Amino acid sequence: MDMERLTEEPEWIFPYDYMAVGDSFFIPTLRPAQMNYAADIAAKKSRIKVKIYTCEREGHLGIRVWRTA
């Protein structure tokens, strides 16, 4: 099996329009730096502020995104 295909990311839809300040979501990923960048760009397009951290949840690497404003 092709290793590049194993680490391909699906297309994500960020729920920024439905989030209140203090809400968060987790996205599992093998490429947290790239997902961090994508989440940050999407937040800027939605004109909201977020904090994004690389973390682990239930044994899965990913990012957690909090809406701060």
In this predicted model, what pLDDT tens digit does every residue of 6-59 receive, in sequence order? 667 677 889 999 999 999 999 999 899 999 999 999 999 999 999 999 999 999
Residues in contact with 7: Cβ distance below 8 Å, sequence separation at least 6, in sequence order: 30, 31
Q: Answer for the pair 54, 32: CB distance below 8 angstroms, yes or no.
A: yes
Q: Which pTM was predicted?
A: 0.80
Q: Answer for the pair 69, 23: CB distance below 8 angstroms, yes or no.
A: no
Residues in contact with 20: Cβ distance below 8 Å, sequence separation at least 6, in sequence order: 67
CA distance 42 to 1: 32
